[in-house]
Structure 1
Amino acid sequence: MKKAAFWVIVLCALAGIGIMSYLTYIHYSQSKSFCDISQEVSCDVVTTSIYSEIFGIPVSVLGLLFFAAVLFLVIKRRDKAFQTLFIVTLFALIPSLYLSLTELIFINSICILCETSKVLMLIIFGASLWASGLDSKAAFRIGVPVLIAGLVAAGVTYFAQTGTVVKKDYSTFIQCLNSKGVVYYKSVRCSTCRRQEMVLGEAYKKINSVECHPDGENPQPELCLSKKISKTPTFLMESGGLEVKRLEGLQQVKDLAAFTNCPVE
């Protein structure tokens, strides 16, 4: 029984390490992932949202550490290793399931690889409980305080993530950008655009913008082609319909201020 559980956990841990390594690469490189299928099913949208980090640490990095720890614990085969895995996995599952809820409720997009990692965690949880030999009473006695701790961790995660939302109102700054003829060219499939919008906060919704991807809302791909938009986000300063200058890629507020001479209050 324990041998079968051992190999199940090892394989799940290795798969989890692979998934989390890939998601970490996507997070930092801002590359397009193979699971960027649509606006509703996109690893890119999820891994670049405000819910992709906890205290500035990518969730994928934390997941990588979790699966690495699982692999270490199961390979060491110390006394009560499976019981320890049961406790660790139960604790980690609660904030992980909270993150699944954020995909459904707040982000409105599903990350296939993220959810696959949750399945791997559930398998590890079940296998470790099975191999630990704990009866139902012992599992309940151990599990309840771990479950409570996991709920607390999920709550801390929520407040840590929502606290990263830009609180400053850049509405006046955006009005200045609009008055200077700045147009924001974006794409619904652009992960860097999500980061750009996080930089500007809710005020980004007021900026003059053009959607370049056919799947986006009110798309104008022909206009983007005519303006020679090769990457998004791109900021064009236009006068009389003609380009004056442009900025490509992720921009901080200070960069946009220098680009337009608009004051940041």
Structure 2
Amino acid sequence: MVRRRSQPWIHQWSRPIIGAIAIIGFLLTSYLTISKLFGAEVACGTEAAASCSDVLSSPYAFVFGLPLSLFGAIAYLAMAGFSLVPLAINPEDNKKLRNKYEDWTWLFLLIGATAMSLFSAYLMYILFAKIGGVCLYCITSATFAASFLLLTLFGRFWDDWGEVFLTIFVVAIITALGTLGLYNSIERDIQGNVPVLNDQGQEIITPVPNRAPEPPTGWEITTTSGPAEIALAEHLTEIGAKEYGAYWCPHCYDQKQLFGKEAFAKVPYIECAPEGENGQPDVCAAAGLEGFPTWEINGERYAGTQSLQRLAELSGYQGSTDFKYALPR
């Protein structure tokens, strides 16, 4: 009597596990994509919020003008399909078709897992070496990609490991060349200060410099103001509006960049950090602020960095709205 070899548990559950991880990854990246496209704040947690938001708003987080998370969502959706579709075929009804789909989709899973793992590894290099921030979403996605590769390699019996390693080698070479080519172009734009424009022709502001803010003023404002920015700043002062901020706050820096150096000098700004220039911590404490920046306009408060178009609407500004700069999507 021949004893039938039992199948390891990882071979039985590898596809469902890959599918579950892929679905979670799809939901995660879809949330990030929708948030970016609609200009909503991404929930990052209290301690890492600034760093996380800065990473997700950096030039490295956009490809062909679209959020990188959009391409991640497509990749996760594909991995979910490759892993779960064969499970929908009942082997008792059509075993030959089930086996055929399993063989082909394992190859696609191997290709996808290899490409995602290598690309994620490069993004981790960008995160820690170039940006110097902490992004839990990015780290989680990289972990998912590595899990895909491990589950694909050890989640089934491979007849020919030589073919497996050859596939990994070819996919790795193609992915590496594509990734380096893509990000070398982004690097040239950043280093050459090539402006990135949105659909309205506005220049997208650059992220916070990769260095600590120095009191009392923090990072230097690098944008220059136009007539519309200056007029809006003067209007906000005239109506008694206030902006509460801190020199070390990255989002406050974004707000400064939107106005430009000349216009921000006219903005009714209240510095809340004691060591900041003209710091008024007592005023900020009495105001009971929940975060920076916070705008107070016509008796109402608005938290977070506001586009100049939004400030114009909230304040009843009637002048030119030909603003030069925009927030990253």
Does TM, scored on the shorter chain, surpass 0.5? yes
Give the gaps of 5 or more residues in structure 2: 1-9, 87-100, 196-202, 204-221, 297-301, 325-329
Picking from 11, 15, 20, the partner of 2:20 is 11
Is the counterpart of residue 151 in structure 1 residue 176 in structure 2?
yes
Percentage of pairs with the same residue: 20
Separation of aligned partners in 1, 2:182 and 2:270: 34
Is the counterpart of residue 31 in structure 1 residue 55 in structure 2?
no
Contact residue 13 and residue 67 of structure 1 kept, 8 A: yes
C-alpha deviation, 1:68, in angstroms? 0.7
**Alignment partner, residue 71 of structure 2:** 62
**Alignment partner, residue 115 of structure 2:** 91
Give the gaps of 5 or more residues in structure 1: 237-246
For the pair shown, which has the larger CA radius of gyration, 1 or 2? 2
Separation of aligned partners in 1, 2:318 and 2:290: 19
Separation of aligned partners in 1, 2:40 and 2:118: 28
Tell me the number of residue pairs that the alignment of Structure 1 and Structure 2 aligns.
252
Contact residue 52 and residue 59 of structure 1 kept, 8 A: yes
Is the counterpart of residue 140 in structure 1 residue 162 in structure 2?
no
Contact residue 16 and residue 64 of structure 1 kept, 8 A: yes
TM-score normalized with structure 1 length: 0.69
C-alpha deviation, 1:44, in angstroms? 2.0
Separation of aligned partners in 2, 1:228 and 1:259: 31
Report Cα offsets for 1:198-241 as digits up to 9, x if no partner: 767xx769965766579x988765455679988755789xxxxx
Is the counterpart of residue 100 in structure 1 residue 124 in structure 2?
yes
Alignment of 1:64-213 (within 5 A): 64-77=73-86, 78=101, 79-130=103-154, 131=156, 133=158, 135-162=160-187, 163=189, 167=195, 170-171=223-224, 186=245, 196=255, 208=265, 212=272
Letter in 1 for 2:170: P
Contact residue 18 and residue 151 of structure 2 kept, 8 A: yes
Separation of aligned partners in 2, 1:115 and 1:35: 14
Separation of aligned partners in 1, 2:318 and 2:249: 22
Contact residue 6 and residue 74 of structure 1 kept, 8 A: yes
Picking from 44, 50, 64, the partner of 2:59 is 50
C-alpha deviation, 1:62, in angstroms? 1.3
* Structure with the largest fraction of helix: 1
Moved more, 46-55 or 132-141: 132-141
2:47 is paired with a residue whose SS is coil
TM-score normalized with structure 2 length: 0.58
